[in-house]
Amino acid sequence: MDRVETLTEEVLERARKIQVILMDVDGVLTHGKIVYDSRGIEIKHFNAHDGLAFKLAKVAGIKTGIISSRESGTIRTRATELQIDYLYLGKYKKITVLQDFIEHNNIKSEYICFIGDDLPDIPVMREVGLAVAVQNATEMTKNFAHYITNKPGGEGAVREVVELVLSSKNLLESSVQKIWE
């Protein structure tokens, strides 16, 4: 990943400590579209490259999790398929989820990465070791990010963050090998 060369040393240093990657859903794992049909059934657009990101994280020993203010059957279906470790849905106040997570898992906030795109994500981004805003995040959200992805949410932003973290730890190549085995 040549991109690593262009990352600031500060971002790489933050990335090297990450043990858990938590993220918002709408706008991060999707492009932010909220889709309903006329019977009220919801539809969500995820991304195949992001799907492999969760596998790469798993073989590298990085935990992953989702915090969303919305409850959603589509997220549950996709999270099960991707074997995501932590799933917090219907949580409008995300900072409370983070505080409980830190306490319950006895983990320092500097070991946590959070990926967000809008206002409700900012209180969490202020606390974690590596705060990431996706390319399509609102301007205000980007102001609170250590790193802004090149790819938009739902089009590979999560994959980009996972590869960044794995590269910073020199784990990307070995993880790819394990994917192939």
Binding footprint of a copy of itself on the chain (CB under 8 A): 1-2, 26-27, 32-49, 51-52, 72-74, 77-78, 117-120, 122-123, 138-140, 154-156, 159, 176, 179-180
Kindly state the smallest distance separating residue 142's Cβ from a copy of itself, in Å.
12
Spatial distance between the Cα atoms of 36 and 161, rounded to a whole number of angstroms:
29
Kindly state the smallest distance separating residue 30's Cβ from a copy of itself, in Å.
8
Structure tokens at 155: 């089009």
**Looking at beta carbons only, is 105 or 138 nearer to a copy of itself?**
138
**Looking at beta carbons only, is 9 or 36 nearer to a copy of itself?**
36
Check if the beta carbon of residue 73 is closer than 8 Å to that of residue 90.
no
**Looking at beta carbons only, is 79 or 130 nearer to a copy of itself?**
79
**Looking at beta carbons only, is 118 or 130 nearer to a copy of itself?**
118
- What residues pair up with 22 in beta bridges, in sequence order? 65, 114
Check if the beta carbon of residue 133 is closer than 8 Å to that of residue 142.
yes
Check if the beta carbon of residue 89 is closer than 8 Å to that of residue 109.
no
Kindly state the smallest distance separating residue 138's Cβ from a copy of itself, in Å.
6
Spatial distance between the Cα atoms of 82 and 59, rounded to a whole number of angstroms:
13
Kindly state the smallest distance separating residue 132's Cβ from a copy of itself, in Å.
17
Q: Is the dihedral of CA 139, 140, 141, 146 positive or negative?
A: positive
3-class DSSP state of 65: strand
Kindly state the smallest distance separating residue 24's Cβ from a copy of itself, in Å.
9
